[in-house]
Amino acid sequence: MNGIGELARGVVMAGIKGTAFDETLPQFGGYMLFGEADAPLYAIRALTDALRERAAGLPPLIAIDQEGGRVARLHRDVEPMPSMMALGAAGELDLTRRAGEQIAFDLRRAGCALDFAPVLDLALEPGNRVIGTRSFGADPQQVASLGAAFGVGLAGGGVFPCYKHFPGHGSTATDSHDALPLISTDEVTLRARDLVPFAHVARNAAVIMTAHVVVPAFDGERPATTSTRVLTGLLREELGFQGVLVTDCLQMQAIAAQDSVSGAVDAFAAGADLLLFSHDVAVALAAAAAVEEAVDAGRIPLARLQEAHRRVANLRAAAAAPLPLDAFPPHRGVGREIARRAITVVRGIPHADPLASVAVSFGGTEPELKREAAVVEELIVPSDPADADIAFLLDGLAQRGRRPLVLARRAHLHPAQAGAIAQILERYPDALVVSLLEPFDVPLFASARHLLAAYGDDEAAIGGLADVIFGSSLASGRLPVSLDT
């Protein structure tokens, strides 16, 4: 029989940054990959092969965040995918399933078995930047259906989906990476809204991730991640979840502000099966030792550790084998197809002549539309432009004498940006405005004759936008969030 220490390390998942294999890395139940922005897929695969080859028994569970849009760890040699909100705007189950299948294909080529996706949080709070376009939208039933379809696609492609973040992180503007959010919504509303997507998938889900949020309607004393009432009472006993329950990273400030190690012990006692530490192997080891000590001291029953270890081990044993790096993709080009079909015409005409246009990018870091149409000039200013930035912008537009294509990023959170766009629209009434991220800024552009929503500024999203405004692709997306208009 495995010793308690070995069992405890088997319920810990540690993060690995980069692609280099470290022979001194402790053996845990799983590893979460971060990769590097320019890392080739073969380098990621070499790392995951090395992690599996050194395992004495079951291979470790290798996980990654590959949602699409701004949360993607693999970029080279994989299909570029837009955000889940783009899938919500496209609103097609089959398209969503194909997205999951294609991501699973790329992850298996990388040697990963678990994707920390899809996000089932609802896009309810306009100030929420941590979820934002990672959500399918605001409608609970649509998010439930699309989330399930994405999960079916991943599972059909041989990768375990992980539905997150239970019991919902979408109705707070506080980022749990930085602080502990409080969701004060009443229980009746939460059950009819935030819990609906999780209830839809819980009984058949292989993996669900917790949220570091306090929800007084269920437990006013502890974050959901460390709450027995939420993890065991609500998720397992009421919703019927039988799979592996993984914590969100325990080094996020919502937990770490108190103590990551004691938080790990509390989460484990509350019903979590897999304790995630994204950043520090030493802290992950300390947490495993703390779980071992708690079991030795009788504060956590040995049966609880054995149960969690068994669940994780069963998942490890069921993981599909990696695919060859040169395998043929099931849905090549699906990412850009999603992005095209997500583009939403709020009003006006969604077309522009690239020769007669100049793009204005608020918060961009490099030319975006210019990558798709080299003849398009691009002016880049900060998300919160100073008076000098605005003067530079207006002067640049006047000199060029072209039609502005305005790329807005969360103008509802950046008053100076909203003011600058208002000045552009006053001078150039025929300007085309694009809400690039969450479309909560759309109501600000009441004077815009031509207004689109694109749900991302990643490679796929910008490509899909270019296909619509510069090409012949039809824009058929619908707003997936509720707006005060």
For the ranges 15-29, 170-184, 418-432, 447-461, which has the lowest average pLDDT?
170-184
What is the widest separation between alpha-carbon atoms in the chain? Answer: 77
Question: At residue 91, what is the residue type?
Answer: G
DSSP 32: E
Per-residue confidence (pLDDT) for residue 133, from 0 to 100: 97
The predicted model gives 43-70 an average pLDDT of 96
Question: At residue 339, what is the residue type?
Answer: A
The predicted model gives 406-410 an average pLDDT of 98
Per-residue confidence (pLDDT) for residue 1, from 0 to 100: 42
Which tens digit of pLDDT belongs to each residue from 241-285?
999 999 999 999 989 888 899 999 999 999 999 999 999 999 999
Q: Name which of 123, 58, 68 is nearest 334 in CA terms.
A: 68
Per-residue confidence (pLDDT) for residue 37, from 0 to 100: 76
Cα separation, 261 vs 443, in Å, equals 45
- Summary mean pLDDT of the chain: 96
Tell me the sheet residues that pair with 403: 357
User: Is the N-terminal amide bond of 439 cis, ω within 30° of 0?
Assistant: no
Name the catalytic one among 115, 121, 219, 248. Answer: 248
The phi and psi torsions of 54 (rounded to 5 degrees) equal: -85, -10
Contact 130, 213 (CB under 8 A): no
Q: Catalytic: 200?
A: no
For residue 174, what are the CA distances in angstroms to 75, 131, 288? 28, 10, 29
The predicted model gives 402-423 an average pLDDT of 98
For residue 260, what are the CA distances in angstroms to 201, 250, 251? 29, 5, 6
Tell me the sheet residues that pair with 207: 162, 244
Query: What's domain 343-469's architecture?
Result: 3-Layer(aba) Sandwich (3.40)
Name the catalytic one among 75, 77, 175, 177. Answer: 177
Would you say the C-alpha torsion 271, 276, 277, 279 has a positive or negative sign?
A: negative
Which tens digit of pLDDT belongs to each residue from 315-338?
999 999 999 999 999 999 999 999
User: Is the N-terminal amide bond of 279 cis, ω within 30° of 0?
Assistant: no
Instruction: Classify burial at 94, counting beta carbons within 10 Å of its beta carbon; exposed 0-12, middle 13-18, buried 19 or more.
Output: exposed
Per-residue confidence (pLDDT) for residue 485, from 0 to 100: 55
pTM: 0.96
H or E segment and range at residue 94: helix 93-110
Collapsing DSSP to helix, strand or coil, 190 comes out as helix
Per-residue confidence (pLDDT) for residue 38, from 0 to 100: 86
Residues 6+ apart with CB under 8 A from 310: none
The hierarchical CATH code for the domain 4-318 is 3.20.20.300
Number of H helices, E strands in the chain: 17, 16
pLDDT cut 70: percent of the chain above it: 100
Domain ranges of the chain: 4-318, 343-469
The radius of gyration of the chain's CA atoms, rounded to the nearest angstrom, is 23
pLDDT band at 484 (very low <50, low <70, confident <90, very high): confident
Q: Catalytic: 412?
A: no
Cα separation, 15 vs 373, in Å, equals 39
Q: Name which of 186, 196, 98 is nearest 143 in CA terms.
A: 196
Q: Is the pLDDT of residue 367 over 70?
A: yes
